Amino acid sequence: MREPDPKLIHTHFAPMLVLKDGVMAIEFYKQAFKATELRRWNNPDGSPHVAELAIDEAIFHIREQSQEKGQFCPSSLGGVTSIIELFVEDPQALAAQAVAAGAHMLSPVVDHEETGYCQGTLVDPFGHRWSLLRRIKRG
């Protein structure tokens, strides 16, 4: 048995976003965040069952909502239980790109000296909230 390459083993977090339309979501995330579709598992009808996407090296998954499995899109429930915080080099530019793709700004991207972050929050067309952040250099 070969030893695993230690460079390939790392802890990471990959949220699963539940939404109403997988095909539309994949296209939105590509336009809004320049996401790359890494792979997809389709349902028998050809619609995405689960898709794995990446924004730079940040991996996330999408899945269409299923009442039978108790998995619902935030827009179906009228609220969220979590916010995706995405750390990027230029949150202002990415926010503008996401809004142009169909996202809605909840709070503009501004420097928050008290927290040490440049940050803004938007909601995607499926109801998921995204905070776009960059650490502010101090001193």
**CA nearest neighbour of 95 among 64, 57, 134, 63:** 134
Domain that holds residue 102: 13-135
Strand runs labelled E in the chain: 16-19, 36-42, 48-55, 58-64, 83-87, 104-112, 117-123, 129-135
3 in a domain, yes or no? no
Per-residue pLDDT, 33: 97
Residue pointed to by tokens 């899109």: 73
pLDDT > 90? residue 43: no
User: Which of 1-10, 43-52, 66-75, 92-101 has the weakest average pLDDT?
Assistant: 1-10
7 band by pLDDT with thresholds 50, 70 and 90: low
- pLDDT band of residue 67 (cuts 50, 70, 90) is confident
Q: Is residue 4 part of a domain?
A: no
Residue 23 domain flag: yes
CATH number at residue 36: 3.10.180.10
Residue 80 within a domain: yes
> CA-CA distance, 53 to 10, in Å (whole number)?
18
pLDDT digits (tens, 9 = 90+) for 104-122: 999 999 999 999 999 999 9
Residue 7 lies in a domain: no
Name the residue among 17, 20, 38, 24 with its Cα closest to residue 102: 24
Question: Which token pair is 4?
Answer: 């695993």
Q: Quickly state the pLDDT bin for 71 (edges 50, 70, 90).
A: confident
Edge-first strand order for the sheet with 83-87 is 83-87, 129-135, 117-123, 104-112
Residues 45 and 80: their CA atoms lie apart, in Å, by 29
26, amino acid identity: I
5: in domain: no
Is 75 inside any structural domain? yes
| Structure confidence at residue 75 (pLDDT) | 87
Please report the pLDDT score of residue 101 as a whole number: 98
User: Is 88 among the domain residues?
Assistant: yes
Query: What pTM value is reported for the model?
Result: 0.85
What's the structural domain count of the chain?
Answer: 1
